[in-house]
A and B are shown apart, each in its own frame.
Chain A
Amino acid sequence: MPKTIEKRNAEEESVVTFTTRGMLAGAKRCLPIAVSGVAIGLVFGVLARQAGLSPVEAWLMSILVFSGAAQFVVIGIWASPVPLAGVVLATLVVGLRHLLMGAALSPWFSKLSKRKAFGSVFFMADENWAMTMGEFQKGKKDAAFLLGGGLVMLVSWSTFTFVGSAAGSFIEDPARWGLDFAFTAVFIALLVGMWRGKSSILPWAVAAFVAVLGYEFLPGHWYILLGGLAGSLVGVVFRGR
C-alpha cells in the first residue's frame, strides 16, 4: 500500500484542471452509455405514466433528480395522494451510496473552486463517476470529465423519459435486447482497469460477498452501500499485507 500513498501525494502536487476539452472527452466516453440508457429512459417513462405522472412531470423528475435508481424505486411506491414521507425516505436510502462516491472524488475535486466542484456533483451518476475515477487513477486530472459525461446522460435520460411517457406502453422490455447488461459490462471493464493485483483480492471479495448477501436478503438498494463500505473498510484494515 505505500505505493498508492506515494501516488496520491504525487497527484496532490500536480494541478487539477477543469477544461472544455475534458468535458468533451467525458461526453464522448459516456455517449455509448447514454445510448444504451435510451431503452431504460423509455421504460421509466412508461412506468411513470402508469403510476400517474404526466409526461412533463416525469420529464421534470428525470432532469431534477437524475437518478435512475431513486426514480424507479419511488415510482414503485407512487400513489394518490403522494406518500411524501415514503418518497423522501426511499430517495435518501437509495442515494446514500453517493456519499461514498463523492468522498472518493474529493482528492481531486477539493482542488476546484466550490462552484465547479459542487456544480459538477449534481451530475454524478454511477456510470460517469466510475469513468471519472478510472481517468483519475490513470493519472489524468481534468475534473470536467464528470460534468461532460453527466450532461450527455442527463439529456438522454430526460428526453427518453418524456418520449416513453408520451408514447405509452408499446415499449418492449430492454432485457430482450440484452441492453440491461450494457451497464454491467461497462462496470466490469472499469473494474479490470482498477485491479491492483494482490491488494485488491480481499477488499473486492468481501465487497462482492456482502453485496450478494445484501441483494438477497435486504430490501431496496442497501447492498450497494453495504458492499462498498465493507470492501473499503477491509482494504484499510488489511492494507500493506
Chain B
Amino acid sequence: MDVDSITLFAIVLMAIVTYATRAGGLWLASRLDLSERAEAFLDHIPGAILISLVAPVVVAGGPAAWLAAAAAALVAWRTGSLLGAMVVGVACILALRSLPSVAPVLSSQFLVLG
C-alpha cells in the first residue's frame, strides 16, 4: 500500500486544477451582474455542451451508433425515461455490433467522458 510522494504531489495538483475549473465558472458568473445577452449565453450552454459530447462519438461510431442513438432518442421522446433510453441504447448497440456487417467496434477512446 505504497504512496509515492511525487505521485501524491501530482495528484494533489491535478485535484486543485480540476476544482479550480469546476468552481471558476460559477464564481465568475455569480460575481458579474449578467446582461440579458450573457443570460442567453448561459441558457444555451447545456444543449451545446451535450451535443458536443455526443455528436463526435455518434458520428465516429458508424451505422451501429447512428441507429442506437436514434433508438435512444425515440425512447426518450416517447417516454421521457432516461433509464429506458440508456437500456435501449445499450441493447441496440450490442445487438448491432454483433452483426458483422455493421459492427465497427468502438475503440475504448470513446469511454473518456466523465
Q: Which of A64, A72, A224 contacts B11 (CB 8 A)?
A: A64
Docked Cα-Cα span, A134 to B68, in Å, equals 22
Whether B99 sits at the interface, judged by CB under 8 Å, is: no
Q: In B1-58, which residues have CB < 8 Å from any A CB?
A: 1-4, 6-15, 17-30, 36-37, 39-58
Whether the Cβ atoms of B25 and A72 lie closer than 8 Å is no
B interface bracket (residues with beta carbon within 8 Å of A) = 35 or more
Q: In A25-66, which residues have CB < 8 Å from any B CB?
A: 29, 32-33, 36-37, 40, 43, 53-57, 60-61, 64-66
Docked Cα-Cα span, A178 to B98, in Å, equals 10
Q: How far is the CB of B112 from chain A (nearest CB, A)?
A: 5
Mark A186-210 against chain B: 1 for CB-CB distance below 8 A, else 0: 1111111111000010011001101
Name A63's closest neighbour in chain B (CB-CB).
B15
Whether the Cβ atoms of A92 and B17 lie closer than 8 Å is yes
Docked Cα-Cα span, A239 to B43, in Å, equals 11
Name B94's closest neighbour in chain A (CB-CB).
A178
Whether the Cβ atoms of B90 and A207 lie closer than 8 Å is no
Q: In A60-85, which residues have CB < 8 Å from any B CB?
A: 60-61, 64-74, 81-82, 84
Whether A127 sits at the interface, judged by CB under 8 Å, is: yes
Whether the Cβ atoms of B94 and A177 lie closer than 8 Å is yes
Name B47's closest neighbour in chain A (CB-CB).
A194
Docked Cα-Cα span, A227 to B59, in Å, equals 14
| Majority-rule SS of B interface residues | helix
Name A106's closest neighbour in chain B (CB-CB).
B29
Whether the Cβ atoms of A204 and B47 lie closer than 8 Å is yes
Contact A95 to B18, CB < 8 A, known contacts A69-B112, A211-B56: yes
Q: In A202-224, which residues have CB < 8 Å from any B CB?
A: 203-204, 207-208, 210-212, 214-216, 221, 223-224
Whether the Cβ atoms of B40 and A235 lie closer than 8 Å is yes
Docked Cα-Cα span, A71 to B97, in Å, equals 28
**Which A residues fall within an 8 A CB radius of B?**
1, 4-5, 8, 29, 32-33, 36-37, 40, 43, 53-57, 60-61, 64-74, 81-82, 84, 87-88, 91-92, 95-107, 109-110, 117-118, 121-122, 124-127, 130-131, 133-134, 137, 153, 157, 173-175, 177-195, 200, 203-204, 207-208, 210-212, 214-216, 221, 223-236, 239
